[in-house]
Amino acid sequence: MGIEIRSLSAEDSHAHNILMNHAFGKGRVVEAPAADATPEAKKDTYGVFDNGKIQAALSVAPFIAHWGSNRTLSMGGIAGVATFASARGRGYAEALLKKSLEVQRDSGQTISALNPFSWKFYARHGWEWVGKRYHVKLPLRELPTFPGGKDVVPVTQDNVKELLEPVCTRFARNYRGVFTSETRRWDSTLDHSDGRTTHVYQYPGDGSYLLWRYNDNDGNGEVREFIANSPEGFRALLGLLHYFAPQCEYATLTLPADTPLWNLFYHWNVDTNARPVFMGRVVDFAAALREIDVPPSVGEGNVTVSVWDEQAVWNSGVWRVTVADGKATASLIVGEASPDVQLDIRALSQAFWGTPSLAEIRTAGQITVSDENAYALLSRLLPAFPVFTLDFF
1: exposed, middle or buried (Cβ count in 10 Å: 0-12, 13-18, 19+) = exposed
Our CB check for ligand COA shows the closer of 95 and 155 to be 95
Which runs of consecutive H residues, i.e. helices, occur in 50-206? 92-106, 119-123, 160-172, 186-190
Our CB check for ligand COA shows the closer of 48 and 321 to be 48
Q: Does 101 bind ligand COA (CB under 6 A)?
A: no
Q: Does 137 bind ligand COA (CB under 6 A)?
A: no
Residue 288 CB, shortest distance to ligand COA, in Å, is: 23
SS3 content of the chain, % helix, strand, coil (to 5): 30, 30, 40
Our CB check for ligand COA shows the closer of 90 and 173 to be 90
User: Binding segment for ligand COA among 115-123, 214-222, 262-270, 304-312 (CB under 6 A)?
Assistant: 115-123
Which parts of 9-28 interact with ligand COA (CB under 6 A)? 23
The backbone torsions φ and ψ at residue 40, rounded to the nearest 5 degrees and listed phi first, read: -75, 130
Which parts of 68-87 interact with ligand COA (CB under 6 A)? 81-83
Residue 48 and residue 89 in contact, taking contact as beta carbons nearer than 8 Å? no
Which parts of 29-68 interact with ligand COA (CB under 6 A)? 56
Under rule CB under 6 A, how many of the chain's residues touch ligand COA?
17
The backbone torsions φ and ψ at residue 182, rounded to the nearest 5 degrees and listed phi first, read: -65, -30
Give the three-class secondary structure for 190.
helix
Distance CA 298, CA 323 (A): 8
Our CB check for ligand COA shows the closer of 94 and 142 to be 94
Q: Which of 62, 108, 116, 139 binds ligand COA (CB under 6 A)?
A: 116
Q: Does 90 bind ligand COA (CB under 6 A)?
A: yes
- Longest alpha-carbon distance in the chain: 71
User: Binding segment for ligand COA among 92-100, 103-111, 188-196, 316-324 (CB under 6 A)?
Assistant: 92-100
Site string for ligand COA, 340-379 (x = CB under 6 A): ----------------------------------------
Our CB check for ligand COA shows the closer of 20 and 332 to be 20
Q: Does 392 bind ligand COA (CB under 6 A)?
A: no
Tell me the β-bridge partners of 367.
343
Our CB check for ligand COA shows the closer of 26 and 120 to be 120
Q: Does 301 bind ligand COA (CB under 6 A)?
A: no
Omega of the bond leading into 204 within 30 degrees of 0 (cis): no
Q: Does 210 bind ligand COA (CB under 6 A)?
A: no
Buried b (16+ CB within 10 A) or exposed e, 136-168: bebbbeebeebebbeebeebeeeebeeebbebb
Q: Are strands 341-344 and 301-308 parallel, antiparallel or unpaired?
A: parallel
Residue 82 CB, shortest distance to ligand COA, in Å, is: 4
Distance CA 11, CA 207 (A): 46
Q: Which of 38, 70, 118, 159 binds ligand COA (CB under 6 A)?
A: 118
Q: Does 121 bind ligand COA (CB under 6 A)?
A: yes
Residue 81 CB, shortest distance to ligand COA, in Å, is: 4
Q: Residue 199: how many CB atoms within 10 A of its CB? A: 17
Our CB check for ligand COA shows the closer of 81 and 288 to be 81
Residue 384 CB, shortest distance to ligand COA, in Å, is: 27
Q: Are strands 250-256 and 128-139 parallel, antiparallel or unpaired?
A: antiparallel
Residue 281 and residue 144 in contact, taking contact as beta carbons nearer than 8 Å? no
Q: Does 94 bind ligand COA (CB under 6 A)?
A: yes
Residue 122 and residue 62 in contact, taking contact as beta carbons nearer than 8 Å? no
Our CB check for ligand COA shows the closer of 94 and 291 to be 94
List interacting residues with ligand COA (CB under 6 A). Answer: 23, 56, 81-83, 88-94, 116-118, 120-121
